[in-house]
A and B are shown apart, each in its own frame.
Chain A
Amino acid sequence: MSKAVSVLNGARFSGLATVEDAGLQGMITLRGDLGSSALKAAVKAATGADVPAQGSISVAENGAAAWMSPDELLLLVPYEDAVAKTAEVAEALKGEHALAVNVSDARAFFRLSGEGAREVLGKVSPVDFDAAAFKPGQFRRSRLAQVAGAFWLNDDGNFYIVCFRSVGEYVFKLLSAGAHPQSKVGVY
């Protein structure tokens, strides 16, 4: 089998904030009734995390579950395990009105870290990134300039950004331009 490579193969830009291709990340889209106990158990088994509350992400040691919509979760698992975990989740939810799909290779994954991270993301997304408004553990689906994207703020202060792989290069360049060293606005 061919070797899997993340969208920009570890590209990195440093300016107001550091933009990095965060590498290969297993991602499973799971749709179903988020209140059902079978689904809760399946999510726990696959990621180690609980089903998150509205607009948040629950992170466990080796995985995470993010709230995408009232009937959709994004499960984060190690890349190598994505295929097996997808099958496990599907098996656990047999008979339920639910669907699990491995979308790892359809997504790009970035890390945005450093002092200016809030400002850089604030330039490209219509979201309030004030420290009082956007807290660690919050997960938000929105847009990044012209394309759809989702992001959350990790407990370590880094933003993680998920978007479609087809627009991965666009998002990287967008964030890099936003992080240009001479483009400081100083809002956040």
Chain B
Amino acid sequence: MLILECPYCGVKAEETELAAGGEAHLKRYGPGSSDDEFHDYLFMRENPKGVHFERWRHANGCGKWFHAARCTMTLEVFGTYTAQTSVPTQEILDKIAAKRPGWTWREFADGKK
């Protein structure tokens, strides 16, 4: 069972109280972008074994969206953070680096901003 702490209401919510919102930090390509970029934005998703960033919504609760960083293999949660950001916060990156040295995920990686 996945338990995430909602950063907006401080509740430690278990999975049935939450709604999954897919991969986090997608960069949107709209009008003016190339077909390849638009295709990748629409269809290409990460499916990592290890560190992953996701969007979640506290649906049966305060109703707010937030981000979560977790490990898909062990279900370890590195942390949850605000939805008002397009990149993971430094605090989260530091926590992941401490537990998973050398991790990478899309353009993010250990030691890289």
Chain B residues contacting A68 (CB-CB under 8 Å) are 62
Q: Which residues of B contact A126 (CB under 8 A)?
A: 13-14, 16-17
Question: Smallest CB-CB separation from B61: which chain A residue?
Answer: A141
B60 interface residue, CB < 8 Å from A?
Answer: yes
Interface size on A, residues (CB 8 A): 13
Chain B residue, CB-CB nearest to A68? B62
Q: In the bound complex, do residue A142 and residue B60 qualify as a contact, i.e. CB atoms below 8 Å apart?
A: yes
Given the known inter-chain contacts A54-B10, A55-B11, A69-B9, please indicate yes or no for A141 contacting B62, CB distance below 8 A.
yes
Chain A positions within 8 Å of B10 at CB level? 54-55
Beyond A141-B60, A141-B61, A141-B62, whether A69 also contacts B14 by CB under 8 A is no
Contact call A140/B11, Cβ cutoff below 8 A:
yes
Shortest B64–chain A CB gap in Å is: 6
Could you tell me if A69 and B62 are in contact, using CB atoms closer than 8 angstroms?
Answer: yes
**Chain A window 134-146, contacts with chain B (Cβ cutoff 8 Å), 1 for yes, 0 for no:** 0000001111000
What A residues does B63 contact at CB under 8 A?
69
Kindly state the interface size class of chain B when it binds its partner. 10 to 19
Is there contact, CB below 8 Å, between B64 and A69? yes
| Chain B residues positioned under 8 Å from A140 (CB to CB) | 11
- Rounded to whole angstroms, the CA-CA distance of A55 and B76 in the bound complex is 26
Whether A148 is near chain B, meaning CB under 8 Å from some CB there, is yes
Q: Which residue of B lies closest to A67 (CB)?
A: B9
Shortest CB-to-CB span from B61 to chain A, Å, is 5
Does A114 count as interface, using CB distance less than 8 angstroms?
A: no
Query: Among the listed A70, A142, A143, A148, which residue makes an inter-chain contact with B8, where contact means beta carbons less than 8 Å apart?
Result: A70
Question: Which residues A39-98 have CB closer than 8 A to chain B?
Answer: 54-55, 67-70, 72
Least Cβ distance of A137 to chain B in Å?
15
Q: Mark A116-128, 1 if CB is under 8 A from B, else 0.
A: 0000000000100
Mark A152-170 against chain B: 1 for CB-CB distance below 8 A, else 0. 0000000000000000000
Q: Which residues of A contact B60 (CB under 8 A)?
A: 141-143, 148
Q: Identify which of A54, A143, A148 contacts B9 (C-beta below 8 A).
A: A54
The 6 closest A-B pairs by CB, nearest first: A69-B62, A143-B60, A141-B61, A126-B14, A70-B8, A148-B60
Can you list 20 A-B contacts (CB < 8 A)?
A: A54-B10, A55-B10, A55-B11, A67-B9, A69-B8, A69-B61, A69-B62, A69-B63, A69-B64, A70-B8, A72-B62, A126-B14, A126-B16, A126-B17, A140-B11, A141-B60, A142-B17, A143-B16, A143-B17, A148-B60
Q: Beyond the given A54-B10, A69-B64, could you list 16 further A-B residue pairs with CB under 8 A, ordered by the A residue number? A: A54-B9, A55-B9, A67-B9, A69-B9, A69-B61, A70-B62, A70-B64, A72-B62, A126-B13, A126-B17, A140-B11, A141-B9, A141-B60, A142-B17, A142-B61, A143-B17
